[in-house]
Structure 1
Amino acid sequence: MRSLRQLFLEEELIRLVIRLGLLALLITWTFVLIRPFGTILAWALVLAVAFNPIFVRLAKILGGRPKLAAGLLTGVNLAILIGPAAWLGVGAVEGIKDFAGQLIAGEFRIPSPPEAVKNWPLIGSALYEFWDEASSNIRLVLRQVTPYLKPIAGMLLGFAGDAGIGAIKFLLSVAVAGFMLPFGRLLVAAGRGFLSRIVPEQSEHFLDLAGATIRAVAQGVIGIAVIQALLAGIGFKLAGIPIAGLLAFIVLLLSIVQIGAAVVMLPVILWIWTAKDVTTAALLTLFLIVVGLLDNVLKPLLMGRGLTTPTLVILVGVIGGTLAHGIVGLFVGPIVLSVAWELTVAWIATDRSGPIRNTADR
């Protein structure tokens, strides 16, 4: 016959199992409920961190009114999203759909050079021959590889189909970020308390490092890429390019992964000189050159400590974020991966050499 102590221990064990089961059920259920909003909250947090310096200055200008400053900043961001960003976004989606359709149908081709190129001084004849030969060769290659590109076309169509949901997520993220801005100090305190339980000796440094990395990538990489893409898209529209939205989207991608917009700008400028009069071509060329060099001016201003994250990490973040979360992941992915990279490097440095210096010293 079992003793009373054994019965008591069995009852306690049963209670413990029930409590742990209920806790696991609660955690799982909570995760299922908030999972659809994960990317929205992540992008909202990124926006809140990135715009916090502007928010603080604006609140001081408005006489210490944080809610009014947050409302104005949110209104401006929503106006940009609903206005020029939506205008170019619709064009990009249509361009992606057309491009995917051409890949599926096997009709994609590189246009032949206009006859007017032959009349250009000095380089006209040589450029025409090079362009014509390249067009013919590329067309032949594309015919051979088109069957293998159809899966890519399907992925592009899926990405374009996700654009509508992505736009809604963007709008919700901006609105949520606006609500977060006035509570920045509370959020920082909560983050500090969370990190103090994980890395008590380096919680302050890791929090500063995470914030600095988010601002560096959000402002100095993604922010500049968005500005360049918007301005480039406006230039492409003024030039009358049919796929202006798609080209602007490509500029966005190339700028985020640090390749630069010149890959798109040079062919566009070349096309402009074949299709427009001299005055119009000169003005558009000057505008696009300024847009292409914009990152050289803005990066020193927006990236105070510089970006130490390797380009490969950002590229993987762009690809992985897009595949996992669609268009919002295109922006969230490189930021999350950059923060993870910087914190991992800092953690390894801490283990090797003890406490490391503050972010301001890096």
Structure 2
Amino acid sequence: MKTVRQYLLGDDVIQLAIRLGLLAFLIYWTFVLIRPFVPILAWSIVLAVALYPIFGLLSRILGGRPRLAAVILTLINLGIVIGPATWLGLSAVDGVRELAEKLSTGDLTVPSPPGQIKDWPLIGPQLHEFWNQASNNIRAVLREVAPHLKPLAGTMLTLAGNAGVGTLKFLLSVALAGFLFPNGPQLVAAGRRFLSRVVPEQSEHFLELAGATIRAVSQGVIGVAIIQSLLAGVGFKLAGVPGAGLLAFAVMLLTIVQIGAAIVLLPVIIWIWIDKDFTTAFLLTLFLGIVGVLDNVLKPLVMGRGLTTPTLVIFIGVIGGTLAHGIVGLFIGPIILSVAWELTVAWIGTDRARPASLPG
């Protein structure tokens, strides 16, 4: 027969299971409720960390008034998001919709080379022949794969349709970052206390590493890519290039994944020389050439340390972030994954160094 002690232990186990089940349900339901706000909160934290040095400088210039500095910096960020960033985004959305429609109808083609290319000195005949062969071959390939690209068109239209929601998330993130600026020291202290419980011996190092990685990726990768794409978009618009917004978005994407903007800029420059007079083509080529090498100039200036995160990690972060969170995920994906990568590498390095330091 069971003793009283056994019955009490059984009741304790049942009560513990009920409490754990309720706690798990509460955690799950809380996550469901806050899940839509996770990208907004993540991007606002990234903005606050990346722009905190500027906030500190502005606060000192204003005589130690952090709230006024936060308001001014937030208004500037909102102006950037509402102004040129929204213009670029809407232009890109129009380009995506047009491309998706062509994919759906199977009308996607590559134009044949203009005849005047043959008159170009030195490279004219060879370039015309290469372009003509590429046009015919790509056109034949597109006819074969067009039926299989129709599902891609649906995905592109879905992403384009979510652009408005993405813009709203950006605005909310910028506004929330404005509230985080004055509370920066308290947030850093909270992060330090949290890490001290997880990794007591490396909490300070991990906190500095996370902040440095966020600033390196957000400023040296995301920030430079946005500046480069905005300037490229201005050049494309001035040149009257078809699909200027979509091409500028492609410049930003290629720059983020460290491939570079030359893949987009070189064909555009060729088109400009075909379509424009000499003076206009020369000035636009000079402008776009400067835009093309801008990342090589800005990255060493804005990055406090060399970026050690592999390109593949950034690429996976871009794709995974976009699929998970839409247009906002395009920016927070590579940053979050880069921080996770750097902290994991540092953690593994610490664990490996610890046995080596023990006396034999």
The TM-score range, normalised by the shorter chain, is over 0.9
The CA deviation at 1:48 is 0.7
Give the equivalent residue in structure 1 for 2:242: 242
**TM superposition shift of 1:120:** 2.0
Partner of 1:233: 233
1:133 partnered with 2:153: no
Q: Which segment is superposed worse, 129-138 or 322-331? A: 129-138
Question: Which residue number in structure 2 is paired with residue 292 of structure 1?
Answer: 292
CA distance in 2, matches of 1:210, 1:181: 17
Q: Say if 2:212 and 2:304, in contact at 8 Å, map to a contact too.
A: no
Partner of 1:181: 181
Q: In structure 2, what is the equivalent of residue 267 of structure 1?
A: 267
Identity %: 70
Name the structure 2 match of 1:359. Answer: none
Question: Residues 115-144 of structure 1: CA distance to partner in whole angstroms, max 9, x if unpaired?
Answer: 222222222222222212221121111111
Q: 2:117: which partner in 1?
A: 117
- 1:159 is displaced (CA, Å) by 1.3
Q: 2:282 is matched by which residue type in structure 1?
A: A
More deviation in 8-17 or 311-320? 8-17
1:51-103 residue CA offsets vs partner (Å, 9 max, x unmatched) = 01111111111111111111111111110111111111111001011111111
Higher mean Cα deviation, 107-116 or 195-204? Answer: 107-116
Query: Residue 340 of structure 2 corresponds to which residue in structure 1?
Result: 340
Q: Deviation digits for residues 271-325 of structure 1, max 9, x if unmatched?
A: 0011111111111110000011000110101112110000011001111111111
Pairing 1:313-328 to 2, within 5 Å after superposition: 313-328=313-328
Residue 316 of structure 1 contacts residue 334 of structure 1 at CA under 8 Å; is this kept in 2? yes
Question: 2: CA distance between counterparts of 1:250 and 1:163?
Answer: 16
Q: Is residue 67 from structure 1 mapped to residue 67 from structure 2 by the alignment?
A: yes
Take 2:343 and 2:229, find their aligned partners in 1: how far apart are those partners?
30
8 Å contact 1:44–1:176 — kept in the other structure?
yes
Aligned partners of 1:262 and 1:292 also within 8 Å: yes
Task: Give the partner amino acid of 1:317.
Answer: G
Task: Pick closer, same or farther for the CA change 1:185–1:242 going to 2, 3 Å.
Answer: same
Q: List runs of 5+ in structure 2 lacking aligned partners.
A: none
Aligned length: 356
Map 1:93-172 onto structure 2 (within 5 A).
93-172=93-172
Which letter maps to 1:197?
A: R
Q: Matches of 1:262 and 1:222 in 2, distance apart?
A: 17
The answer to which of 64-73 and 114-123 deviates more is: 114-123
Deviation at 1:17?
Answer: 3.4
| Larger displacement relative to structure 2 (266-275 or 128-137) | 128-137
Aligned to 1:197: 197
Query: What residue number does 2:92 align with?
Result: 92
Q: Is the 8 A contact 1:202 1:355 kept in 2?
A: no
Match of 1:37 in 2: 37
Measure how far apart 1:6 and its partner are: 4.4
What's the RMSD between the two structures over aligned residues? 1.6
Larger mean Cα displacement after TM superposition, 309-318 or 22-31: 22-31
TM-score by length of 1: 0.95
- Residue identity matched to 1:274: I
SS in structure 2 of the partner of residue 354 of structure 1: helix
Shift of 1:14: 4.2
CA contact (8 A) 2:265 2:288 kept: yes
Deviation at 1:160, TM superposition (A): 1.0
CA shift digits 1:176-219 (9 cap, x unpaired): 11111111111111111111111111111111101100110000
Instruction: Tell me the CA shift for residue 107 of structure 1.
Output: 0.7
Aligned-partner SS, 2:252: helix
AA at the equivalent of 1:167: T
| Matched letter for residue 161 of structure 1 | G
Shift of 1:5: 4.0
Contact kept, 8 Å, 1:44 with 1:177, in 2: the verdict is yes
Distance 1:132 1:22 in 2: 68
Give the Cα–Cα distance (whole angstroms) in 1 for the partners of residues 175 and 308 of structure 2.
31
Where does structure 1 lack aligned partners over 5 or more consecutive residues? 357-362
| Distance in structure 2 (CA, Å) of the matches to 1:284 and 1:204 | 49
Q: Supply the AA of the counterpart residue of 1:49.
A: V
Task: Describe the SS at the equivalent of 1:63.
Answer: coil
Aligned counterparts of 1:178 and 1:255: Cα–Cα separation in 2: 27
Whole-angstrom CA distance in 2 between matches of 1:140 and 1:15: 69
**Partners of 1:124 and 1:22 in 2: how far apart?**
74
How far off is 1:4 after superposition?
4.8
Letter in 1 for 2:70: A
After TM superposition, the structure 1 stretch with the greater mean CA deviation from structure 2, 24-33 or 240-249, is 24-33
Quote how far apart the aligned CAs of 1:23 are: 2.2
| Structure 1 residue 347, shift from structure 2 partner | 0.6
The answer (yes or no) to whether the contact 1:314–1:338 under 8 Å persists in 2 is yes
